[in-house]
Structure 1
Amino acid sequence: MNPRERRAARHQPPNPEAETAPRPRRRKAPITVEQVVDTALALIATEGYEALTMRRLAGALDTGPASLYAHVVNKADLDELLIGRLCAGLVLPKPDTASDSAPDPTAWREQIRSVCTQLRDQYLKYPGISRAAFAMAPTDLEILRVSEGMLAILLAGGVAPQTAAWAIDALLLYVAAYCLETSVARQRAADDDIAWVVDRDELLRRLTALPAEAFPHTTRHAAELTAGEGHDRFDFTLALMIDGLAHR
């Protein structure tokens, strides 16, 4: 199979009746897609997503770019594999089950918030990796499993199908954007020359020092504008979006 055929095969449900044809023995163990993803994630964890190129990844695998392209079609295909691997770690309510883990009409807000929070935590393990999720039309089964699970939760909560579909897109976009901004801010904070950019006390000082006649609201509410610790703003925005769905 060529790389595109391999990619299509990866995104098909497993066929239990298919027989595995015996493969000829080779002197050197071939690279697998799993190894490609593992190595890419390790590279991102230590150097950030911006450091990930096909050439850099091939070097980390001790092979040439040509060998790498035998397993992934292009960088977009690799991006989808990476996001799919992260999505595989998410725990979702299982539909059509009479258990506490099923989509719950009385707890749908907490359940959808849990999915978004889990995805946030996965993204933040790998600096900048959420950039890979932008402008993606996924076919990876693990990514589709997450969107299917989110759809089941929202439908159970009484959200109309069209609203639910667009809400999933908006929620995933916000989670990815939040994590990307957080990764950029952390990288900047690691640079001693520009650490003040993300320093709350310094930002508060600069806002309150503005001329009050030109910035009356900013100087008066500088404390509110710079408030929040940890993921406070993430939780606030997520609640805002989910509550908006409830009111619709």
Structure 2
Amino acid sequence: MADRSASRGTVSRDQWAAQIAALGDTRATSRSRKAPITVGRIVDTAFQLVEAEGFEALTMRRVAAALQTGPSSLYAHVRNKAELDDLLIGELCAKVTLPTPDPARWQEQVLDVCRQLRDQYLRYPGISRAALAGTPNSLDTLRIGEGLLTILLTGGVSPQSAAWASDAAFLYVSAHSFEASLRQRPEEDGDGADRAELIERFKMLPESRFPTTVAYARELTHGDEHDRFDFTLGVLLRGLVPATS
């Protein structure tokens, strides 16, 4: 082995030490190298936080900490929390499939779009609160409004009624989803009540003052959230009279 080493040229101790040090620097550089901050990474991280801890826990500082950076790094890509909220709602709206408007099925189509949006919201507890905060700027969010309005107009609803109905439907989906997310929270104070408990509470009311509530306690508490969702939107849609009738 000594002869083979000599024929190749012996590396000095200092050179060998330098090579080892270089390897260490490479490993350190590899460990310290971070993926660049992008809007996509910010949005993905925000979704992860909301899914794990709820929308109330979402702040720019929390997103920055999860990305192992400072808040100022985020502001180079997302101006503020309001813009982040708008991006999140836009991402969810982008996953909704809009149908080709069919005048024979317009009510069913509106309900289907609203159900899709509701299901997206319910994946991330409380996130629909962001949709209630202000006017959307995301084109993906505006696409839902465009789709609902087009379906309603295709069904023969007058322009003004269609405009108000599409806005009311979007508002109801957001509010319903937000309330549903509150119901999904684990009860911290033990004050939650299931349907049986609610019926008993209603029946405990003095019948002389609440005769109708006591008599219809079961009807008042009947149906799950999806049943009530479909019912409410059905009432809205059936109240729309096609302009041609």
TM score, norm. by length of structure 2: 0.82
Alignment-derived partner of residue 48 in structure 1: 54
Q: Percent identity?
A: 59
> Where do residues 1-248 of structure 1 align in structure 2 (5 Å cutoff)?
28-93=34-99, 102-187=100-185, 190-191=186-187, 193-194=189-190, 196-246=191-241
Shift of 1:164: 1.1
Structure with a larger share of its residues in helix = 2
Contact 2:54 2:126 in 1 (8 A): yes
SS at match of 2:184: helix
Shift of 1:29: 3.5
Distance 1:88 1:198, change over 3 A: farther
Contact 1:197 1:203 in 2 (8 A): no
Alignment-derived partner of residue 10 in structure 2: none
SS at match of 2:192: helix
Deviations 1:112-139, CA, capped at 9 Å, x for gaps: 1111000000000000000000132122
Alignment-derived partner of residue 18 in structure 1: none
Amino acid at match of 1:39: T
Shift of 1:230: 4.2
**Separation (CA, whole Å) in 2 of partners of 1:28 and 1:217:** 64
- CA RMSD, Structure 1 to Structure 2 (Å): 1.4
Amino acid at match of 2:201: R
Deviations 1:54-110, CA, capped at 9 Å, x for gaps: 1111111111000011111111100100000000100002xxxxxxxx211101111
Q: Which aligned runs of 4 or more in structure 1 are off by greater than 3 angstroms?
A: none
Amino acid at match of 1:74: N
**Separation (CA, whole Å) in 2 of partners of 1:125 and 1:155:** 31
SS at match of 1:130: helix
Alignment-derived partner of residue 25 in structure 2: none
Gaps of 5+ in 1: 1-26, 94-101
Shift of 1:150: 1.1
**Separation (CA, whole Å) in 2 of partners of 1:170 and 1:197:** 30
**Which moves more between the two structures, 39-48 or 222-231?**
222-231
TM score, norm. by length of structure 1: 0.82
SS at match of 2:79: coil
Gaps of 5+ in 2: 1-32
Shift of 1:247: 6.3
Distance 1:222 1:58, change over 3 A: same
SS at match of 2:89: helix
